[in-house]
A and B are shown apart, each in its own frame.
Chain A
Amino acid sequence: MTNLMQAITGVLDLGLLQGLVFAGVALSVVLSLLVLNFPDLSIEGTFPLGASIAGVAMSYGWGSTIAFFAALLAGALSGLLTAVLHTKLRMSKLLSGICTGTILYTMNLWILGGKGNVAVMDGTYLAPFERMDAALNSAFHTGTMYLHLGSILGCLILAWLLKVLIDRTLQSEFGVALRCVGQNEEGAKIRGRNADRYKLVGLAMANAAASCAGALAAQYQGYADVNMGVGILVVGLVAVVLGQEIFARIGWSLSSMTALTRSALVGLVTYEIVIAGVLRAGVPPTALRLLTGVALIIVVAFRQKREPLSFAW
């Protein structure tokens, strides 16, 4: 019984931490897909871009704050590139994202100095919280079980800050206009909105959020890897769909933007807890992508409302 409790606690601890680390990805998918109706595949390149820039910047001794903002800026620029390809060169939404993602793969390799990965060890944002982990484990006498309560607190603060920032933006006059552009571009143009400009800003924000998540993931995992973005978009999608489903079944409203971002974070944490549990049960980590794909299929198949997904690809 004690072993079972320990296992459950361990799974919750790990799932919660992972979910909060990847919060930026879920929020990025909310922005690009739910708000702008733009299936931005370049997020799979932006996530490792944030990790690479943060990792390399910290290995040069720039400090975690500068590294974090450098990653944020790079993510925003990558979003701008996707938006320019779509709005100025009239590439389709999918193609512009694929094009940027392909370019970013080489960029990430260059940033990492031609190597596939780079270690991120010292001076991370999470370092003080990791020290708190040790103190709390000692205080609570957790014994052989090592909990990440401090790290969870640190990631929770960062995820909450990011969520509040995005919520505030979406609730502003600009945010309402941004949502109009995503819902009905022609209607927004008739109402005097420059749709291209809104797409530029919206995609820059979405990619900056994904890049932030990458920077945090590199600090949490202790390395930045050029392939760490593979499948990350599907994780974001699972988070959004699962979160909406959880809210719908509980009966919580999804009509406000704050509820939408909250549901995405709840979906992400739930997904990560399930994945941590499955891995704990002995499923090999090589099956992770398979599990993610299957999770998306299951969530979509068992949705309460069998309507097409609220976003159009």
Chain B
Amino acid sequence: MLRIAQITKKFEANGTTVEALRGLDLTVKRGSIVAVMGPNGSGKSTLFRILDGQLEPTSGEIVWDEARKGGRASVAHVPQETRTLNFPEMLVEDHLLIAELQGAPARIWRRGITPARRMRYRELLGRAGLGEIAAALCRPVKTLSVGLQQILTIFLAAEAHQLREDGLRPDLLLLDEPTSALDMKNTEFCASLLRRLHEEGHTMLIATHHMDFVASLVDRICILGNGVIKQEIDRDQLKMFPTISQADPVPYH
């Protein structure tokens, strides 16, 4: 589905060149979940920002499968700091509306929040098991807990396509540290949400430091270090690791 071939990315700063990615190769099959692990500065965020189009690679190529030939893949990126995507003073329902309008014009003659839209949002949230957020539809997002805000952001990236006319879900879902702000309960909920998305056929790349979170969830783990994939561990190999520490063989530098 997605093939990343020999991607490099160099940043120039104050006359010095920093090489964030040094010829990274990675293949992600359609419908699979791949975890990208590695220490801070190993290139995870740079890779994600290249995949969602925020950055251009210095060299190398990104190849999507035949279905996307000639067109740009739709990538939904949930950054680690979800507040970069949120509008704290605005209502939860406004966030759903903006996600619904993504890729479409916002018309001045059409009312934003209508009773019909509100009902649709409630139903969608309810179906996803997010009753707590559905009950807070008319509240500013800043009044939700940080965990619920994070869950809402992940939900919008993955599920908002159901509200759009084209109904096309994103080709790739990029989740950068999705559990960083979550407590145990919300982490479990997040895992069940991702499991369901996996069953529905979503393709996901997850950057994380938490092996215990991804171990039961992903098809493959790629260990990044110094801008390249140092090691890949597939699902069968994962079962052979009795402890988390043994599954992280790359020394921190």
Chain A 150-175 residues near chain B, CB threshold 8 A: 169, 171-175
Task: Assess the A171–B108 pair: CB atoms within 8 A.
Answer: no
Contacts of B112 in A (CB 8 A): 171-173, 175-176
Q: Mark A222-261, 1 if CB is under 8 A from B, else 0.
A: 0000000000000000000000000000000001000000
Task: Give 16 A-B pairs besides A173-B106, A176-B106, A180-B87 with Cβ atoms closer than 8 angstroms.
Answer: A172-B107, A172-B109, A172-B112, A173-B108, A173-B112, A174-B107, A176-B113, A180-B90, A183-B87, A183-B90, A184-B84, A184-B85, A187-B87, A188-B87, A190-B77, A192-B103
Q: Mark A44-83, 1 if CB is under 8 A from B, else 0.
A: 0000000000000000000000000000000000000000
Contact of A173 among B86, B103, B111 (CB under 8 A): B111
Q: Does B94 contact A (CB under 8 A)?
A: yes
Interface of chain B, main secondary structure:
loop
Task: Assess the A190–B85 pair: CB atoms within 8 A.
Answer: yes
Q: Does B197 contact A (CB under 8 A)?
A: no
Contacts of B113 in A (CB 8 A): 171, 176
Residue of A nearest to B138 (CB): A255
Q: Does A310 contact B (CB under 8 A)?
A: yes
Shortest beta-carbon distance, A286 to chain B, in Å?
A: 40
Task: Assess the A187–B110 pair: CB atoms within 8 A.
Answer: no
Contact of B84 among A174, A176, A177, A190 (CB under 8 A): A190
Task: Assess the B101–A255 pair: CB atoms within 8 A.
Answer: no
Task: Assess the B86–A184 pair: CB atoms within 8 A.
Answer: yes
Contacts of B98 in A (CB 8 A): 176-177, 180, 188, 191, 193
Q: Does A199 contact B (CB under 8 A)?
A: no
A residues lining the B interface (CB < 8 Å): 169, 171-177, 179-180, 183-184, 186-188, 190-193, 255, 310
Q: Does B91 contact A (CB under 8 A)?
A: yes
Known: A183-B89, A184-B86. A173 touches B94 (CB 8 A): no
Q: Does B99 contact A (CB under 8 A)?
A: yes
Q: Does B31 contact A (CB under 8 A)?
A: no
In the complex the two chains form, what is the Cα distance from A183 to B106 in whole Å? 17
Contacts of A186 in B (CB 8 A): 84
9 closest Cβ contacts across the A-B interface? A174-B108, A177-B106, A183-B87, A173-B106, A176-B112, A192-B102, A174-B106, A173-B112, A187-B85
Known: A184-B84, A192-B102, A255-B140. A173 touches B89 (CB 8 A): no
Residue of B nearest to A187 (CB): B85
In the complex the two chains form, what is the Cα distance from A301 to B21 in whole Å? 53
Q: Does B39 contact A (CB under 8 A)?
A: no
Residue of A nearest to B103 (CB): A192
The contact sample of 23 A-B pairs, CB cut-off 8 A, is A169-B108, A171-B112, A172-B107, A172-B108, A172-B109, A172-B112, A173-B108, A173-B111, A174-B107, A174-B108, A175-B112, A177-B106, A180-B94, A183-B90, A184-B86, A187-B85, A187-B87, A188-B98, A190-B84, A191-B99, A191-B102, A193-B98, A255-B91
Contacts of B86 in A (CB 8 A): 184, 187
Chain B 136-178 residues near chain A, CB threshold 8 A: 138, 140
Chain B 206-230 residues near chain A, CB threshold 8 A: none
In the complex the two chains form, what is the Cα distance from A163 to B201 in whole Å? 48
Contacts of A177 in B (CB 8 A): 98, 101, 106
Shortest beta-carbon distance, A144 to chain B, in Å?
A: 50
